[in-house]
Structure 1
């Protein structure tokens, strides 16, 4: 939490000079803030409430079962995702495990969502960090005199004239500066695409079509639709636990687990799916405009 609060504070600190554009700031400032807020909610939920609640056997302490199922993971049966709740199944994916008729899906990602969101936030800052090192404070030094609070308007006007004359006299001398900024903008795009692939891998291949599946689900008839969010982020799962019985034989215990955090995870990742695709659209659109005006950009 201390890291999150300090990072948010740094994001809102004003720079000495604007050295990037709107898409760049959306990438390293807005997106990082969103990821940190999401991770803060998840971490607070884990510290304040129980992230998992399991029911297996009254003889075994609940805290022990919760810790065991949280550590080793829970599962659902993919063959029993469809059916009438209360008649065919108690919840999607929760039912009897029959040999040859079951599609076991293990769920352990929820232990790492908080950490992965923080890591993703750090990765979103990498292109910004590289660009700041490449830029080296050139723009801040160039505009330093015209930004002083104690400077009168006349002196500021003269400072602006000096900057304009400098830019005219050095027309075409900042090609490397412009290309470095373009390179870091491309890094933003690669970071977004790479993170989409990472989240798809993290969620066992379910993230790539997650937003489209939810949109399709909304437009389906209530009697024939299956919520894709329940399949990716089940709130009720199963957990198995083996222990020795009174005679020394191994007893197989099968229980139910409630995952309250998944109700929050499904909303978080649905938002991230649309936000990341929107960011890609903005970056591609601006990159196309930059290529169209490449000659003007290089001249500056």
Structure 2
């Protein structure tokens, strides 16, 4: 067995913007400083789920390149790999079937973790302690654990859920804009003006949105305008942000562990939070009211650092996060456990 101080681990973050890979040495405190590589080509998702072969076609050369760096006199041994992928929970069947054997053959690894991206976001934000993480970007999902099991809430996509996320928020703002255009109650002249500036005449908006395959991203692009109108005092926009905060708090409340014997932490992550106080102020108020025994903390790291930390824990036998077939699939030398 390779000593932990001489082992290297790989973390992978696969999402809609491409593939990020990091290689780091295992230290007594976890992964050391990482070398990274980035591919801007997203991994395809088809009828069979996430395309394992396309992921491997990108991942293997990236890891080989990182292993050859550093002047160590040869390729550095890889003890464990952790892959975090968007859609793993429902679309990861092909990855679970093909990646363990392929990565063992390529690198001789002893441990492999295949995780939902929400789990690597959790590990990056909170490490290996009980708590909850909300990931709010274009979509919205919350995960929590008491270190015995995972809980997940929402993350059902922009048609069925992702309530309070960027696409939800943008859609609510555009609906209020169209109400004002029609003369219906609940409309906002400020949001109508913002929508016309961003998309043109209201009558053309359906044609711009409905045929688009990237419709969630287009809807989410309007979320900052809703926040701007709220910051400028538009009451309809203020109400939309308050409702978004309630929806996000619903998910956090559903997954937050209640009986850990100590105060639990909630981390808020994701690009939607950059819209600032119009969302954060009501969200913090909702969380304080519903979960008085919890504290909101800043995330310590991102999903890629979370994947590295899971790989390091696998390499050293110190993983405390619970395994789960859909959320955190652990494959050792004998297969999945």
Indicate the TM-score class for this superposition, using the shorter chain for normalisation: under 0.3
TM-score by length of 2: 0.25
Between Structure 1 and Structure 2, the one with more strand by share is: 2
Larger Rg: 1
TM-score by length of 1: 0.28
